Amino acid sequence: MKQVYRQIATTPKPFVKWAGGKRQLIPILNENLPKTFGTYYEPFLGGGALLFHILAERNAQKCSISDLNSDLVLTYTAIRNRIDELISSLKNHERNYQKDSKTYYYSIRESNPRSEIEKTSRLLFLNRTCFNGLYRVNSKGKFNVPLGSYTNPNIVNEENLRSVSAILQSSKVAIKCRDFESVLRDAKKGDLVYFDPPYQPVSETANFTSYTNKSFTYEDLIRLAELCMKLDSKGCKVLLSNSDSKEVAKIFSNKSWKINRIQANRSINSNSKKRTGHFELLIKNY
Ligand SMILES: C[S@@+](CC[C@H](N)C(=O)[O-])C[C@H]1O[C@@H](n2cnc3c(N)ncnc32)[C@H](O)[C@@H]1O
| DSSP summary character for residue 147 | B
Number of domains in the chain: 2
Q: How confident is the model at residue 211 (pLDDT cuts 50, 70, 90)?
A: low
pTM listed for this prediction: 0.90
Mean pLDDT value of segment 137-162: 91
| Any atom of ligand 1 within 6 Å of the Cβ of 33 | no
Domain end among 117, 133, 158:
158
Which pLDDT belongs to residue 207? Answer: 45
Range of the domain at 47: 2-76+162-284
Cα–Cα dist 286/283, whole Å:
10
Residue bearing the CA closest to ligand 1, atom 12: 44
Cα–Cα dist 248/203, whole Å:
15
Residue bearing the CA closest to ligand 1, atom 24: 211
Specify the CATH number for the domain of residue 25: 3.40.50.150
| DSSP summary character for residue 197 | P
Residue 126's φ and ψ, nearest 5 degrees, are -65, -40
Asked if pLDDT for residue 212 goes beyond 80, the answer is no
Domain end among 126, 141, 158:
158
Identify whether residues 179 and 47 lie together within a single domain: yes
Cα 255 to averaged position of ligand 1 atoms, centre (Å): 27
Q: How confident is the model at residue 3 (pLDDT cuts 50, 70, 90)?
A: very low
Cα 7 to averaged position of ligand 1 atoms, centre (Å): 31
> Would you say 29 and 4 are in contact if contact means Cβ atoms under 8 Å apart?
no
| Any atom of ligand 1 within 6 Å of the Cβ of 153 | no
Cα–Cα dist 115/85, whole Å:
12
Cα 179 to averaged position of ligand 1 atoms, centre (Å): 10
Cα–Cα dist 51/193, whole Å:
11
Identify whether residues 181 and 40 lie together within a single domain: yes
Domain end among 158, 182, 216:
158
Residue 223's φ and ψ, nearest 5 degrees, are -60, -40
Identify whether residues 177 and 274 lie together within a single domain: yes
Residue 279's φ and ψ, nearest 5 degrees, are -105, 150
Cα–Cα dist 45/64, whole Å:
10
Cα 103 to averaged position of ligand 1 atoms, centre (Å): 31
